[in-house]
Amino acid sequence: MEPADIGVKDADKHDDGTLTGEDAAGAGPGAPTLGQVLLAVEELWPESLAENWDEVGLVAGHPSAPVAKVMFAVDPTLTVIEEAIEWGAELLITHHPLLLKGVTSVAATTAKGQAIHRLIESGTALLTVHTNGDSAVGGVSDVLADALGLEGVVPLTAAANGLPEEGIGRVGDLADVMSLGDFAARVFGILPSVAGGVRVSGDKDGLVRRIAVCGGAGDSLFSEVRANNADVYVTADLRHHPASEAREAAVNGRPYLIDVSHFASEWLWLPAAASALGNVLADQGHDVEIQVSTTNSDPWDFILTPG
């Protein structure tokens, strides 16, 4: 997959991360502040859509700082942060939070502390768009459903504070009936290549049409998948016991299960998100260059299989 580039403006940062003098002028009169970018992000992925356990929003950065370059990524790993800094991004937007659980220190003696130090010292802001990016229209599962060719798509579970079309997961129908084997091949074909590949549970020749999807870990939604009469459920991080229990509870073998990489299932959203943000900022008269990280942050490097 190639990174997405939007816009034409570029700017160099001083050591303290600020843009002044000729550099600020180079960013162009249409370069927004971080605060203005945050307003555009809120328009697309409202924080009110985030699950109550989640931590989304601005992690590091000054709202008055100018932003000429934005990078999107799945994970705020040190490698991703260094990529963003090297490219000159003033803002890194990641799907996964850096600080999901409470901390009492951000000393650079830990990986998370190092991440915070690198961000602040380089003048690079960090913003998290997590379950609000899952739930919103055009979010993670919408993009996955669209890539698989689903029609008549609706949420698997409605958002508590959103529109009827917002919520976690999606379910819809294929234009034509397919075998599970052929559909699994379609899933494999749309995702970035990762070591874990795609795992399938079910009759390879079984026919499927109604498809449920949830980007990221979705093993909490089996009841909703069954209630929507899905023939197959595509999600990530399926653990042994939930998957085994789902198979035991299956009716006529359904729903079949397709387990994909957490990273890969959510990476698909990044180019769409970059394009959406670029369009909103352009409509507001701002010039920003937006790029998708090229770092594969899937944690697995290789896999051994029988045969």
pLDDT exceeds 60 at position 129:
yes
Residues 72 and 183 in one domain: no
CA-CA distance, 58 to 268, in Å (whole number)?
22
Residues 91 and 185 in one domain: no
Kindly state whether residue 187 falls inside one of the protein's structural domains. yes
**Tokens of residue 2, six digits:** 């190639």
Binding residues for a divalent metal cation: 95-96, 134, 262, 266
CA-CA distance, 262 to 196, in Å (whole number)?
10
Kindly state whether residue 239 falls inside one of the protein's structural domains. yes
What does the pLDDT look like over 179-213, one tens digit per residue? 999 999 999 999 999 999 999 999 999 999 999 99
Kindly state whether residue 302 falls inside one of the protein's structural domains. no
Range with lowest mean pLDDT among 1-5, 77-81, 170-174, 220-224: 1-5
Binding residues: 95-96, 134, 262, 266
- Write out the residue range of the structural domain in which residue 165 sits: 137-260
Residues 143 and 90 in one domain: no
pLDDT at 102: 82
pLDDT exceeds 80 at position 216:
yes
pLDDT at 69: 98
Could you tell me which residues are beta bridge partners of residue 233?
212, 257
**Tokens of residue 48, six digits:** 């009110």
pLDDT at 30: 78
Mean pLDDT across 170-186: 98
**b/e per residue 174-186 (b: at least 16 CB within 10 A):** beeebebeebbee
pLDDT at 15: 42
What does the pLDDT look like over 53-105, one tens digit per residue? 999 999 999 999 999 999 999 999 999 999 999 999 999 999 999 998 888 88
Q: pTM of the entire structure?
A: 0.88
Report CA torsion sign: 182, 184, 187, 192.
negative
Q: How confident is the model at residue 29 (pLDDT cuts 50, 70, 90)?
A: low
